[in-house]
Structure 1
Amino acid sequence: MSRDREPLVVGRVIGDVLDPFTRSISLRIGYSSREVTNGCELKPSQVVNQPRVDIGGEDLRTFYTLASSHTL
């Protein structure tokens, strides 16, 4: 996907909140049977349970910070 069409760029997360970066691992997040993608909106009833988070990569010494936001 073109960098200028990435949801995080269009939503101004990259640029306003984060500096531009190059992806280095895969990341998948889901609630029940629904996978979360950049820019998708979920209802409170859809996120009652803890999400499943799958982070790619094979180096178990590497740690990541996961942040979530919501709009009012």
Structure 2
Amino acid sequence: MPRPSIGIHRYVFLLFKQKRRRGQNPPPLLLNPSSSSSSPSTTILRDNFDSRKFAVDNQLGLPVAALYFNAQRETAARRR
């Protein structure tokens, strides 16, 4: 989920129907270089994820459904 004060995030969920049962070729794991600890963070970075390439690489065809929404963290509740 979004970290505080980052702004609006766009989320896209795509649903594919597999033609047969098989393993997926996941995108490579990228380590987060902005980790504050001495060891790199294992956060998977999905910036500029190419869903079309993923579908082709995994022989998924066209999506059968899609969901798109924007999300933003709410500010703290105000006292009344």
Q: Which TM class, normalised by the smaller chain length?
A: under 0.3
Q: Which has the larger radius of gyration?
A: 2
TM-score, normalised with respect to structure 1: 0.20
Alignment TM-score, normalising by the size of structure 2:
0.19
Return the structure number with greater relative CO, CA threshold 8 A, min gap 6: 2
